[in-house]
Amino acid sequence: MDRRRASQLLAGYRQFLLGRPTLSSHEQSISGSYSKLNTWRPCCMFRVSVGTPQASNYLNLGKTYATKQRSFGSAATDIPRNPAFSKLNADDISYFRTILGERNVVEDEDRLSAANVDWMRKYQGSSKLLLLPKSSQEVSKILHHCNSRKLAVVPQGGNTGLVGGSVPVHDEVIINLALMDKIISLDKINGILVCEAGCILENLSSFLENEGFIMPLDLGAKGSCQIGGNISTNAGGLRFVRYGSLHGTILGLEVVLANGTILDMLGTLRKDNTGYDLKHLFIGSEGSLGIVTKVSVLTPPKLMSTNLAFLACKEFTSCQKLLLEAKRALGEVLSAFEFMDSHSMDLVLSHLDGVRSPLSSSLYNFYILIETTGSDETYDKTKLEAFLLRSMEEGLILDGVVAQDINQSSSFWRIREGIAEASVKVGAVYKYDLSLPIDQFYGIVEEMRNRLGEAATVVGYGHLGDGNLHLNIMTTRYDSDILAQIEPYVYEWTSKHKGSISAEHGLGLMKANKIHYSKSPETVQLMVDIKKLWWLSINFKANEVLTKKSQKVVVKEAAAVTRAYY
Amino acid sequence: MDRRRASQLLAGYRQFLLGRPTLSSHEQSISGSYSKLNTWRPCCMFRVSVGTPQASNYLNLGKTYATKQRSFGSAATDIPRNPAFSKLNADDISYFRTILGERNVVEDEDRLSAANVDWMRKYQGSSKLLLLPKSSQEVSKILHHCNSRKLAVVPQGGNTGLVGGSVPVHDEVIINLALMDKIISLDKINGILVCEAGCILENLSSFLENEGFIMPLDLGAKGSCQIGGNISTNAGGLRFVRYGSLHGTILGLEVVLANGTILDMLGTLRKDNTGYDLKHLFIGSEGSLGIVTKVSVLTPPKLMSTNLAFLACKEFTSCQKLLLEAKRALGEVLSAFEFMDSHSMDLVLSHLDGVRSPLSSSLYNFYILIETTGSDETYDKTKLEAFLLRSMEEGLILDGVVAQDINQSSSFWRIREGIAEASVKVGAVYKYDLSLPIDQFYGIVEEMRNRLGEAATVVGYGHLGDGNLHLNIMTTRYDSDILAQIEPYVYEWTSKHKGSISAEHGLGLMKANKIHYSKSPETVQLMVDIKKLWWLSINFKANEVLTKKSQKVVVKEAAAVTRAYY
């Protein structure tokens, strides 16, 4: 394609888009997609088991979880409750009332019913008690009591996860941090925010934007998920390609351990090389080591100029090359590089009202969203457009359009963010969140499509910039034969290609027994050993059994995941 | 200052600089400053103690270390050797020869002499054996043998550290990874480099630059320090403000534990949420938990446009404001924000040949170096100059100059990087590497200047963009009275202001017993507990004693530090 033709095309797309009806804003679009989350999920957090480890009801349950997952029903009922855990009694309730007050010790059935099920309604617990602490000291007292009484607990917040990590399995006490939602400080020079762990991500974002900063993470469930849960699940999301992992942006944590010890690691410094950096153990450990109660996070300055392009490619290799080129040409302003295949696009166009392709043809195989964020509108836009022209001339892009205002941006994002919503409208959906090397990124989608044939619709999309593929396989209803064709094949394929079976969703109950596909036996053993530290007063027989089954070892207290966005 | 005047000034500086004599390139300047490192330091790494923990010769040595540090002589001789460690015998040597071959089992006195002392010649060991493994399997065999024989080991590489972490204290076996210097792979789409831990940082940088990428860290000792040592000490350096901590950029590690277990965590994925992310325990733990043998690192694309400004400010508050404004206006291209006071400038101008101020007046109080790195020369330069003009108009900058070519850049960097070199020419230098909240950043420099009066020259400089101050206090000779005026005051002051007593140098032997100034007793206890995991077969009496002395607890196997740059 020559330069003039490419230039005409880009201009043409702009004109076409400017004539389109106005859609809702990007923010509205996101919260609209997940509006249910805001109403029926009050909070979210991460699981902590207290009491004896050999009594843990999460040990050795891999097979049961797998069966459960296949049934897509309640996860709890099939798993035997470990009798070594105590049962809640009236004295416990009285004690909690003395600590928290009458109002924050919840036994109301309706409220418990909502807290006992995850937002996908796949996992169902039967907890009789929901506690609402207002401070780290209250969390400490709760855990100290539960530990001494051998009562199992599960922290829970927005409960927006996809792997069944944030709901009780049986009658665990639910600890909800929703009342710990205070912003403690903001260093306006360095952008260092300190807040309680129950702060809702979107509230933090709004607060920061008024102060000229942004959160380093953004995800669809932001209206419900809490920062403590984001940290416990090492949430990824849309800004990952620009601002990286929470391991790089979380500066400090306060954590309450299972025995009630309050661990003060709440540093606000960018550099601190004094001993082991223990906070990292709590980032992504899905609540199995403690409850995050306070957070210190490095927030980037809010930059004023954002641009968004919606592009079409013929080959997957063109998408790969485009990513490489974008990193070079747009390196410092690139803020998202999102990918979807034509099947994803068709799914959204078929199932979501009011969504249209911004491109005049629908015959493309792959679509890419490139977002840039910088400090200078003119320079940034010119830079993006020059890059797009070059890419069209080189044949990497077949077609494309640059959003001219926030409404057009919203309509582009609506397509990408609508895939999850559209997929559940088909009937049954089997969801996989994989990290894969870039050259293998799309292979599993094609493999599954070949393998399943007419029996299922297979779509691939995700954060290509981070190597994170979301593989959704849809059928009209859940079917164990279909599942048997998918699993363990998808995990084996991912493992063979050195990918990860959980890129950003965590293991949860769904994948606790699949860890060996992504981690070596020695590494899993060390995780088990570390978990022992939190149970120092206990004999380790259960772990010793696990050691012998190194390939089948299960990481205990699976997970809580707070993200609906995927 | 009006806009026209500011503009004239900037133009004037450029003209002035263009007429200056050509200096050596930035690279030459750096390696020149540290040329000695290249010749007499072959390698570097991180300390691992094997054998019984109660037999560790690093336990409870805080006071001795402190005395030692004061003497600025050999650290080893004052510390009693723990007799529970075995002594090397002929059978050990024979065994090592069967594993490594004749050549890589070094008993030569000259080579041992160089490996027994740190580059500052402050810490002196008396090891009789230097081992040069060529593979992870060889490292594993060495450690397995040493563990079973209760032989203490110290890994060592470039040995460029400033806190005495990379040399033996007594007769530890030195394990040198210099022969493990192979690049294993580079994913040219995502910029993910996998290499052995003995690779020298500068070699990795050169390799990557040819491939269009850069290392996410850069530091003055790059010609000697090894990537394994960088990771073990969580090295900071010049690119930290742009690319952040190694916790964000290291994607995977292979580590050999003290018992010889090879821990494969060598992922090459940007996202992997499957269980605890254990690699973070090894980043910055200064070799006390294992020897890093392989590394996977995310390398940013090499961007083509670099600009550098040398600026003068009157007040420290102006430097603070300038940082804030730079983050907003240059956010996506800002790659360094370095600070030095007039005392630092005077020091360099007085003691280093051929160094001149690029500014016509020398009456300024503070100097700032701002570097930008981006993908478009024209846009980036225009953006920087517009920012500088605005800052001059606002009175934040009194004077300034933008480098017009690489020689001018080198001459600017030479001033900043020459401070360390100049400071040792005065006589004695007491060095502190502090992280401080931005509003307290310069306070300790003024405090120390008031406190010491005419007795010492006090200079403050460092990475203002990261809140990392280097405080150097110089006297004509080492003096215990001066030291008593500095310590523990400087640590107490830092602790009181919620800073860190080690921003990027690590604890090493120098600050192992100072950890309580920056970490809570509970956190230190958890570090001790984690260290226990590596010694599972051992009774914990030594640790139990430590527990009771929670405020005085020492993190064992202090540290190896590989960085001379500070």
> Please, which pLDDT band fits residue B143 given cuts at 50, 70 and 90?
very high
Structure tokens at B554: 């020492």
- The shortest C-alpha distance from A351 to chain B (Å) reads 30
Distance from CA of B314 to the nearest CA of A (A): 19
Q: How big is the A-B interface in CB pairs under 8 Å? A: 287
State the pLDDT at residue B408: 95
pLDDT of residue B535: 55
Phi and psi at residue A163, to the nearest 5°? -125, 15
List of chain A residues whose C-beta atoms are within 8 Å of the C-beta of residue B533:
526, 529-530, 532-533
Q: Average pLDDT, stretch B374-392?
A: 91
Q: Please indicate whether, in this complex, the C-beta atoms of A500 and B244 are within 8 angstroms of each other.
A: no
Compute the mean pLDDT over every residue in chain B, rounded to the nearest whole number: 80
Among the partner-chain residues B267, B373, B533, the one whose CB lies closest to the CB of A529 is B533
Q: State the pTM of this model.
A: 0.83
From B244, which residue of chain A is nearest by alpha-carbon distance?
A: A248
pLDDT on residue B57: 26
Mean pLDDT for B288-314 is 94
Q: Where is mean pLDDT largest: A14-28, A215-229, B5-19?
A: A215-229
Spell out which residues of chain B touch residue A468, defining contact as CB-CB under 8 Å.
270-271
Contacts of B233 in chain A (CB under 8 A): 273
DSSP B534: T
The 8-class DSSP code of residue A172 comes to: P
Contact B298, B192 (CB under 8 A): yes
Please say if the pLDDT value at position A354 is more than 70: yes
Contacts of A285 in chain B (CB under 8 A): 275-277
pLDDT band at B227; cut points 50, 70, 90: very high
**Range A408-415 average pLDDT:** 94
Residue B121 pLDDT? 80
Query: How far is C-alpha A247 from the chain's CA centre?
Result: 15
Instruction: Determine the Cα–Cα distance for residues B81 and B126; give it in Å rounded to an integer.
Output: 11
- Among B379, B467, B532, the residue with its CB nearest the CB of A269 is B467
CB atoms within 10 A of CB B131: 21
Structure tokens at A17: 């888009």
Which residues on chain A are in Cβ contact (under 8 Å) with B396?
Answer: none
Task: Quote the pLDDT of residue B110.
Answer: 96
pLDDT at residue A534, as a whole number: 62
CA closest to B524 among chain A residues: A275
Residues B103-135 have pLDDT tens digits of: 999 999 999 999 999 877 878 899 999 999 999
* Secondary structure letter of residue B302 according to DSSP: P
In angstroms, the CA A302 to CA B539 distance is 53
How much of chain A exceeds pLDDT 90, in percent? 58
- CA of A554: which chain B residue's CA is closest? B275
CB contact under 8 A, A520 and B264: yes
- Give the DSSP H/E element, type plus range, for residue A185: strand A183-187
B425 or A340: which leads in pLDDT: A340
Q: How far apart are CA A133 and CA A141, in angstroms?
A: 9
B264, B270, B323: residue with CB nearest A189: B323
Residues of A in contact with B47 (CB under 8 A): none
User: Across residues A212-233, what is the average pLDDT?
Assistant: 93
Q: Which residues of B touch A533 (CB under 8 A)?
A: 526, 529-530, 532-533
Look at A23-37, A352-366, B1-15 and tell me which has the smallest mean pLDDT: A23-37
Residue B500's beta-bridge partner residues? B435
DSSP states of A197-262 as a string? TT-BHHHHHHHHHHHTB--S---GGGGT-BHHHHHHTT---TTHHHH--HHHHEEEEEEE-TTS-E
Q: Hey, are the CB atoms on B275 and A524 less than 8 Å from each other? A: yes
Higher-confidence residue of A541 and B236: namely B236
Which residues in chain A have Cβ-Cβ distances shorter than 8 Å to B536? Answer: 529
Chain B residue with the nearest C-alpha to that of A318: B189
Q: Average pLDDT for residues B260-264, to the nearest whole number?
A: 92
**Confidence check: pLDDT of A322 > 50:** yes
Chain A CB contacts of B320 below 8 Å? 189
Asked if A269 lies within 8 A of B373 by C-beta distance, the reply is no
Q: Give the ranges where B239-364 is alpha helix by DSSP (H).
A: 240-243, 246-249, 279-282, 316-329, 342-351
Please give the pLDDT value at position A96: 98
At residue A59, does pLDDT exceed 80? no
pLDDT value of position A6:
40
The alpha carbon of residue A324 is apart from the nearest alpha carbon of chain B, in Å, by 5
pLDDT tens, position by position, B396-429:
999 999 999 999 999 999 999 899 889 888 888 8
Interface predicted TM-score (ipTM)? 0.82
A225-229, A295-299, A376-380, A513-517: the lowest-pLDDT one? A376-380
Inter-chain CB proximity A270 and B373 less than 8 Å: no
B275 and A329 within 8 Å at the Cβ level: the answer is no
Tokens for A125, please give them.
Answer: 């617990």
User: A51 in the Ramachandran plot: left (φ > 0), alpha (ψ -120 to 50) or beta?
Assistant: left
Average pLDDT over residues B300-320: 94
Indicate whether A486 pLDDT > 80: yes
CA distances from A332 to A309, A404, A487 (A): 17, 21, 40
Task: Give the pLDDT band of residue A315 (cuts 50, 70, 90).
Answer: very high
* The pLDDT value given to residue A55: 26
pLDDT greater than 50 at residue A153: yes
Closest residue, chain A, to B327 (C-alpha):
A301
Does pLDDT of B462 surpass 50?
yes
pLDDT exceeds cutoff 90 at B548: no
* Cβ distance of B278 and A466 shorter than 8 Å: no
**B285 contact residues in A (CB cutoff 8 A):** 275-277
CA B564 to chain centre: 6
When CB atoms are compared, the residue of A236, A375, A498 closest to B330 is: A375
Give the residue, B382 or A555, on which the prediction is more confident. B382
Q: Is the pLDDT of residue A472 over 50?
A: yes
- In b/e form, how buried is each residue of B541-552, taking b as 16+ CB within 10 angstroms? ebbeebeeeeee
Range from A368-372, A458-462, B432-436, B561-565 carrying the lowest mean pLDDT: B561-565
Residue A274 to residue B437, Cβ atoms within 8 A:
no
Q: What is the mean pLDDT of residues B299-310?
A: 93
Contact A233/B523, CB-based, under 8 Å? no
Please answer yes or no on whether A269 and B500 come within 8 Å at the CB atom. Answer: yes
Contact B275 A527 (CB under 8 A): yes
Mean residue pLDDT across chain A:
80
In the predicted structure, residue A555 carries a pLDDT above the cut 60: no
Judge: A273–B267 Cβ closer than 8 Å, yes or no: no
d(CA B176, CA B168): 12
Q: Are the Cβ atoms of B276 and A281 closer than 8 angstroms?
A: yes
Taking residues A364-368, report their average pLDDT: 97
pLDDT band at B533 (very low <50, low <70, confident <90, very high): low
Q: How confident is the model at residue A156 (pLDDT cuts 50, 70, 90)?
A: confident
Which CA distances in Å does A371 have to A235, A272, A331, A413? 20, 33, 11, 10
Least confident residue range of A55-64, A213-222, B44-53, B148-157 = A55-64
Chain A residue with Cα closest to B241? A270
Q: What is the pLDDT of residue A78?
A: 63
Q: What is the rounded average pLDDT of the residues A260-287?
A: 93
Return the pLDDT at B220.
80
Q: What pLDDT score was predicted for residue A459?
A: 97
* Section A110-132 average pLDDT: 91
Residue B300 is given by DSSP the state P
Q: Enter the DSSP assignment of B117.
A: B
Strand pairing of A399-402 and A334-341? unpaired
**What residue of A is the nearest CA neighbor of B278?**
A281
CA neighbor of B430 nearest in space, from B72, B66, B65: B72
- List, in sequence order, every beta strand (DSSP E) within B424-509: 428-435, 457-463, 468-475
pLDDT for residue A565 is more than 80: no
